[in-house]
C-alpha cells in the first residue's frame, strides 16, 4: 500500500505566518495543532527522501519529527506537525554553541560546513546535566542521555547519507516545566542521492568503474560536523558516527544492534510505498542500494 498523501487546504497558507517562501508555511490541522508544509524543490526528490528517512528513523527506534507526503495547490511537499509543545521554544545548535563558546567567538551566522562546528563541541553541550533526552520519548537505559541519543542521529546520517547535519539542523527544546531537552531529529531531505538524475543513478548502479560505483558514491558523503577547527573538510558521515562511538562504545553498540535488527528488505518495502508519481524506479533502486551498502559498512564496526 502506498503512503497516503495529505491534502492541505488551499487556504492553509493564510492561516498562520509565512516563512519566507510561498512553498513553506505553518497551518492548523483539523485537531488544531500547528503543521509545517514544506514544498520540495522540483526534480530533487526532497519529498520522498524526507518521508523515507522518517520511516527509517522509526525502525531504528529514534525520536524523530513525523513527515507525511502532502499536496497543496497542486504542489508536492511534506507536512510535519510541530515538535515544539505549547509554551516551548526550539533553540537551534548555532544559538546554543554561540552561548557556550562565546569566549571563542563562535559565529552563529557562519555558513554551512564551517569548521567551528565540531563534534567535540556538540558533545560538550549535550553532556551538560541540564540537557535531558527528547520529550515524550522513553530513553533506553543503554542510551542514557542526550549525547547517546545524538549518537543515534549520527548513525541515521551515515545510513541514509544525510549531508545536512549543520548547526541549524539539530537543537534543543526549552519548556517551563522541564528546561532543556534534546530535540528529535529533523530535516533529512539531503539524503539517499535524492538530487541525482536517473541517468547518473543508472550509470552508477551498472558501471564496472570502481570510481563511479555506488560504493564509492556513499563513501564520499560528508557530515556537517568537523573533527577539529583546523580540519580542512567535514568528516564523512561514517567518520562522524565512528568518533561518537569512540566517545561511548556502549551507546554505539546499542545503535548498531538496532540497525542489525532491521532486515535490509525493509528498505525496499519503505521505498516501494512512495507513490509512483513521486519517485522513479532508478531512484528506488539507487536509494535501496545506498541503504544496504551503508548498513553493511556500519555493521562492520561490530
- Mean of pLDDT values over 208-213: 97
Q: What are phi and psi of 38, to 5 degrees?
A: -130, 120
Model pLDDT for residues 109-137, shown as the tens digit of each residue: 987 778 999 999 999 999 999 999 999 99
- Cβ pair 225, 157 in contact under 8 A: no
**Which residues, at least 6 apart from 138, have a Cβ–Cβ distance to it below 8 Å?**
none
pLDDT at 23: 77
For residue 231, how far is the Cα from the chain centroid? 23
In the chain, what percentage of residues exceed pLDDT 70? Answer: 97
Strands 179-182 vs 34-39: parallel, antiparallel or unpaired: unpaired
| Residues 240 and 170: beta-carbon distance below 8 Å | no
Q: Which residue has the cell 560505483?
A: 213
The total number of residues shown for the chain amounts to: 302
State yes or no: pLDDT of 89 exceeds 90: yes
CATH class of residue range 6-81: alpha beta
Question: Which residue ranges make up each domain of the chain?
Answer: 6-81, 86-302
The model's pLDDT over 228-256, given as tens digits with 9 standing for 90+, comes to: 999 999 999 999 999 999 999 999 999 99
**Rg of the Cα trace of the chain?**
19
pLDDT band, very low/low/confident/very high, at 20 (cuts 50, 70, 90): low
Q: 264 with 292: CB under 8 angstroms?
A: yes
Contacts of 10 by beta carbon, 8 Å cutoff, 6+ apart: 72, 73
Q: Above 70 in pLDDT, residue 16? A: no
Tell whether the model's pLDDT for residue 18 goes beyond 90: no
157 has a pLDDT exceeding 90: yes
Contact 165, 174 (CB under 8 A): no
Q: What is the mean pLDDT of the chain?
A: 95
pLDDT at res. 111? 79
Q: What is the pLDDT of residues 31-87, one digit of tens each?
A: 889 999 999 998 899 999 999 999 999 999 999 999 999 999 999 999 999 999 999
User: Measured between alpha carbons, how far is 25 from 36 in angstroms, rounded to an integer?
Assistant: 6
For residue 118, the model assigns a pLDDT of 97
Sign of CA dihedral 272, 275, 276, 281: negative
What pLDDT shows up at residue 198? 97
What pLDDT is attached to residue 43?
Answer: 86
Alpha helices by DSSP H, the chain: 46-60, 93-100, 119-126, 146-160, 198-206, 214-219, 237-247, 249-260, 265-272, 281-299
Mean per-residue pLDDT, 217-223: 97
Q: Do domains 6-81 and 86-302 have the same CATH topology?
A: no
Nearest to 187 by CA among 53, 55, 28: 53
Mean pLDDT (whole number) for 283-288 = 98
pLDDT at residue number 60: 98
Structural class in CATH, domain 86-302 = mainly alpha
Amino acid at each position: 500500500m502506498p503512503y497516503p498523501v495529505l491534502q492541505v487546504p488551499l487556504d492553509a497558507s493564510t492561516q498562520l505566518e509565512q516563512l519566507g517562501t510561498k512553498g513553506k508555511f505553518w497551518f492548523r490541522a483539523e485537531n488544531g495543532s500547528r503543521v509545517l508544509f514544506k514544498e520540495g524543490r522540483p526534480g530533487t526528490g526532497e519529498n520522498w527522501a524526507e518521508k523515507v528517512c522518517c520511516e527509517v528513523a522509526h525502525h531504528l527506534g529514534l525520536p524523530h519529527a513525523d513527515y507525511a507526503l502532502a499536496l497543496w495547490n497542486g504542489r508536492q511537499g511534506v507536512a510535519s506537525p510541530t515538535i515544539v509543545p505549547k509554551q516551548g521554544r526550539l533553540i537551534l545548535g548555532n544559538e546554543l554553541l554561540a552561548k557556550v563558546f562565546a569566549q571563542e567567538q563562535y559565529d552563529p551566522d557562519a555558513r554551512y560546513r564551517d569548521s567551528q562546528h565540531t563534534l567535540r563541541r556538540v558533545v560538550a553541550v549535550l553532556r551538560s546535566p541540564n540537557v535531558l533526552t527528547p520529550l515524550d520519548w522513553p530513553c533506553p537505559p543503554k542510551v542514557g542521555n542526550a549525547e547517546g541519543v545524538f549518537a543515534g542521529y549520527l548513525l541515521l546520517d551515515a545510513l541514509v547519507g544525510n549531508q545536512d547535519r549543520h548547526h541549524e539542523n539539530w537543537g534543543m527544546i526549552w519548556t517551563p516545566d522541564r528546561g532543556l531537552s534534546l530535540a528529535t531529529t529533523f530535516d533529512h531531505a539531503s539524503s539517499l542521492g535524492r538530487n541525482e538524475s536517473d541517468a547518473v543513478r543508472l550509470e552508477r548502479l551498472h558501471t564496472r568503474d570502481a570510481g563511479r560505483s555506488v560504493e564509492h558514491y556513499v563513501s564520499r558523503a560528508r557530515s556537517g560536523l568537523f573533527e577539529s577547527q583546523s580540519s580542512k573538510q567535514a568528516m564523512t558521515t561514517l567518520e562522524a558516527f565512528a568518533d561518537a562511538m569512540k566517545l561511548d562504545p556502549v551507546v554505539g553498540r546499542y545503535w548498531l544492534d538496532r540497525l542489525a535488527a532491521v532486515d535490509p528488505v525493509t528498505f525496499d518495502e519503505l521505498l516501494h510505498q512512495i507513490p509512483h508519481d513521486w519517485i522513479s524506479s532508478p531512484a528506488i533502486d539507487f536509494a535501496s542500494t545506498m541503504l544496504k551498502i551503508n548498513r553493511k559498512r556500519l555493521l562492520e564496526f561490530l
